[in-house]
């Protein structure tokens, strides 16, 4: 067993520097690496390029880095829930590369899987395809999209072990597995770090080979963005 | 009378067939789930990684780890599955989803759709909409026929940045059901009490009216 375990978030983020490109898992606030984000605020690294489907809300998730003006550029598919984000973007303080959600996921997966680029139909004929190579296959047009290149990937899993094997819960899975191994260093925080051997190899979602560092996360808030319920009859 | 959002959802629900995997966008499309016939088997896919979505949870049962694409807390039904984002879009891009229902700001008579950006004003992003419209063969757009100022959103040409080109085939609005083909909107049905004349007035794009146009049956 190759041991990936580090003792805490401080050790996990050793080497993170200003100007780096970071991947962060999560969909909205679901499955975001809360501990890593808090530590990025702490480290006060600046000029970051962040690859994340969303940009958090004003006072949580990546919104915390935005408030602190640590982000130079965001690569996201949907940023609708964050007023500060919209303000910085419309004023030109923040560079934003809006990317179709499936393309965003595949750019992560391509980086993980060793593909330099891929063709997708998404965005053909729109401003997303401007300046990009296009090509017809079987009479339909596709856009060439390059894989991402990132320095760190910050991932949140439900359970994991020191070997780096991961299991996710519910829709908190989202982009997290696709970002594992898609950056130079993949850092995973887990709700529950279990003993090696405890996870059934049949049920592991991400094998440890894609993970460089793993640590037991603490104090998860797991904030709900839209609490929707139905009434009991 | 023009339909409200629930009326539009009710009419679209009639398009959902037994055995369909259906992707519902945010807004009016989400409401469609409430009106699908109970005697057919349908599975709802949410792009954030769930197939077999159920209703909202009862109070106290909300789980921060189980949400839909609108970030709302949801439940799952027996037979449901969770998956990562790349797998989710493999389902969409690979045409494994049978029906896609989404909202729009504008639709043009050539099937172009715009629903993600108002330059200088509103930039929320496209989310999964570009992947959906570029891949799905069966797309229904749920929208209001006109904006708040009464201007048509059913146009000759979209004025807003496009989400996809030539991809919309059917539209259900508060006034009408339209088929988009041969560079025109073909009027199929009227909302109850809405006249063909009303629909003509509210449609900027080319509207083809062939024979008697029936009222929607909802």
Tell me the helices (H) and strands (E) count for chain B, helix number first: 5, 15
Q: Which residue has the higher pLDDT, A232 or A219?
A: A219
In this predicted model, what pLDDT tens digit does every residue of A136-163 receive, in sequence order? Answer: 999 999 999 999 999 999 999 999 999 9
B137 is catalytic: no
Measure in Å the smallest separation between the Cα of B193 and chain A Cα atoms: 33
Query: By the CB < 8 Å criterion, does A174 face chain B?
Result: yes
Q: Does A100 contact B at CB distance below 8 Å?
A: yes
Residue A141 in contact with residue A125, Cβ under 8 Å? yes
Structure tokens at B121: 């004003």
Residue A219 is classified by DSSP as -
Give tens-digit pLDDT for B12-57.
999 999 999 999 988 899 899 999 999 999 999 999 999 999 999 9
Distances (CA, A) of A125 to A135, B13, B48: 12, 30, 25
Res. A91: pLDDT tops 70: yes
Rounded CA separation A48/B9 (Å): 43
| Facing A30 at nearest CB: one of B55, B56, B64 | B64
The number of angstroms, rounded, from the C-alpha of A37 to the middle of its chain's C-alpha atoms is 11
Whether residue A86 is predicted with pLDDT greater than 90 in this model: the reply is no
Q: How confident is the model at residue A231 (pLDDT cuts 50, 70, 90)?
A: confident
Q: Give the pLDDT mean for A199-220.
A: 98
Using an 8 Å Cβ cutoff, are B94 and B18 in contact? no
Binned at pLDDT 50, 70 and 90, residue A226 comes out as very high
When pLDDT is averaged across residues A50-67 and rounded to a whole number, the result is 95
When CB atoms are compared, the residue of A27, A104, A227 closest to B48 is: A27
Return per-residue pLDDT of chain B as tens, 218 residues.
899 999 999 999 999 999 999 999 888 998 999 999 999 999 999 999 999 999 999 999 999 999 999 999 999 999 999 999 999 999 999 999 999 999 999 999 999 999 999 988 878 899 999 999 999 989 999 999 999 999 999 999 999 999 999 999 999 999 999 999 999 999 999 999 999 999 999 999 999 999 999 999 98
Residue B74 is predicted with a pLDDT of: 95
Question: Two tokens at B120?
Answer: 């200088």
Pairwise pLDDT comparison (A62 vs A90), residue with the higher score: A62
How high is the pLDDT of residue A24?
A: 98
Q: Write the residue in B63, B71, B135 that is nearest to A28 by C-beta.
A: B71
ipTM of the complex: 0.97
pLDDT-based confidence at residue A84 (cuts at 50, 70, 90): confident
Contact B114, B162 (CB under 8 A): yes
Q: What's the CA gap between A181 and B212, in Å, rounded?
A: 60
Put simply, the answer to whether B64 touches A224 (Cβ < 8 Å) is yes
Backbone angles phi, psi at B196, to 5 degrees: -60, -35
For residue B99, give both structure tokens: 């029906």
Query: How many CB atoms are located within 10 Å of the residue B216 CB?
Result: 20
Active-site residue among B47, B106, B109, B204?
B47
pLDDT 10s digits, A109-137: 999 999 999 999 999 999 999 999 999 99
Query: What 3-state class would DSSP assign to A107?
Result: helix
Q: What is the model's pLDDT at position A233? A: 64
pLDDT of the residue at B21: 97
pTM: 0.96
């Amino acid at each position: 067993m190759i041991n990936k375990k580090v003792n805490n978030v401080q050790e996990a983020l050793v080497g993170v520097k200003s100007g780096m490109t970071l991947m962060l898992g999560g969909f909205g606030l679901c499955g975001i690496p809360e501990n890593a984000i808090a530590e990025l605020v702490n480290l006060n690294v600046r000029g970051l390029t962040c690859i994340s489907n969303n940009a958090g809300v004003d006072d949580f998730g990546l919104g915390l880095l935005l408030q602190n003006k640590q982000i130079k550029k965001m690569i996201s598919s949907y940023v609708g829930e964050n007023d500060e984000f919209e303000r910085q973007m419309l004023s030109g303080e923040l560079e934003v590369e809006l990317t179709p959600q499936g393309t965003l996921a595949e750019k992560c997966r391509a980086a993980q899987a060793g593909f330099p680029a891929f063709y997708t139909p998404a965005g053909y004929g729109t401003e997303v395809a401007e300046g990009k190579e296009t090509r017809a296959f079987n009479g339909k047009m596709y856009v060439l999209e390059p894989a991402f290149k990132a320095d760190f990937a910050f991932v949140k899993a439900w359970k994991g072990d020191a070997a780096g094997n991961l299991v996710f819960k519910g829709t908190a899975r989202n982009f997290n597995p696709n970002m594992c191994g898609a950056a130079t260093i993949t850092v995973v925080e887990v709700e529950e770090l279990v003993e090696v051997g405890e996870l059934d190899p049949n049920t592991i979602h991400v094998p440890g080979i894609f993970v460089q560092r793993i640590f037991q996360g603490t104090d998860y808030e797991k904030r709900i963005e839209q609490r929707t319920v139905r009434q009991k009859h | 009378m023009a339909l409200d959002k629930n009326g539009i959802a009710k009419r679209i629900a009639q398009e959902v067939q037994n055995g369909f995997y259906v992707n519902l966008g945010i807004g009016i499309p989400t409401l469609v789930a409430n009106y699908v016939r109970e005697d057919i088997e349908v599975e709802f896919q949410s792009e954030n990684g769930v197939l077999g979505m159920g209703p909202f949870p009862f109070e106290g049962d909300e789980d921060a780890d189980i949400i839909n694409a609108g970030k709302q807390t949801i439940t799952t039904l027996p037979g449901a599955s969770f998956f990562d984002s790349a797998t989710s879009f493999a389902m969409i891009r690979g045409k494994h989803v049978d029906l896609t229902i989404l909202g729009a700001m504008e639709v043009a008579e050539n099937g172009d759709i715009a629903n993600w950006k108002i330059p200088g004003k509103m930039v929320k992003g496209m989310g999964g909409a570009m992947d959906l419209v570029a891949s799905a063969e069966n797309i229904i757009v749920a929208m209001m026929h006109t904006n708040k100022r009464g201007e048509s959103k059913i146009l000759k040409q979209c004025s807003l940045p496009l989400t996809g080109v030539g991809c919309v085939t059917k539209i259900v609005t508060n006034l009408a059901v339209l088929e988009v083909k041969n560079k025109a909107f073909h009027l199929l049905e009227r909302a109850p009490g809405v006249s063909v004349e009303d629909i003509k007035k509210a449609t900027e794009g080319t509207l083809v009216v062939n024979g008697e146009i029936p009222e929607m049956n909802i």
